[in-house]
Amino acid sequence: MNKAFTKEDDGGGPERLPDLPISPHPNHVTPRGLALLKARAEALEAEVGRLRAGQEEAGDLTPLAVAERDLRYVEARISSAILVTPPEAPERVQFGTTVTVVDEEDREASYTIVGEDEAEPEKGLITHVSPLARALMEAEPGDVVDWVKPTGTVALEVLAVRPAEG
């Protein structure tokens, strides 16, 4: 048969899914963020092992291919991680710090500056490359920063900076 009509990898395993995109930004991580990545890698390794063990009776190999792809992503993020230890007594907003701000309508909010894989905006964990984090970086209590949003610019006054919890 013509080689064009055969699978290149005929190892009997699932077809390899394309890798997930990797951010072009430096992969800064907090100690918590690195621990979360390592825990995710362990969980994915266990999932891949479980799926490989049951592969004979399962007809759909997609879950295994997805787990293997996700594991490759997490392993790449761990290998490129740049551990940044948060300051113990920060005087200004930095990676790994929590900042409390108040907006023009006297609404207070707190944000913790973390790595991309640790970010959960709904919980106040924002990535260091986000527009909000970039606006806040290096600000000190009493500073007013402009956060440029698609809906307009918001002035935020920095009330406090403290070490991140966790």
**Which helix H or strand E contains 163, and what residues bound it?**
strand 152-163
* Segments of the chain with pLDDT less than 70: 1-14, 55-60, 166
- For the entire predicted model, the pTM comes to 0.81
SS3 content of the chain, % helix, strand, coil (to 5): 30, 25, 45
What pLDDT does residue 3 have? 38
At 126 the pLDDT is: 98
pLDDT of residue 140: 97
- Tell me, what's the pLDDT at 16? 83
CA distances from 78 to 38, 50, 81 (A): 7, 22, 5
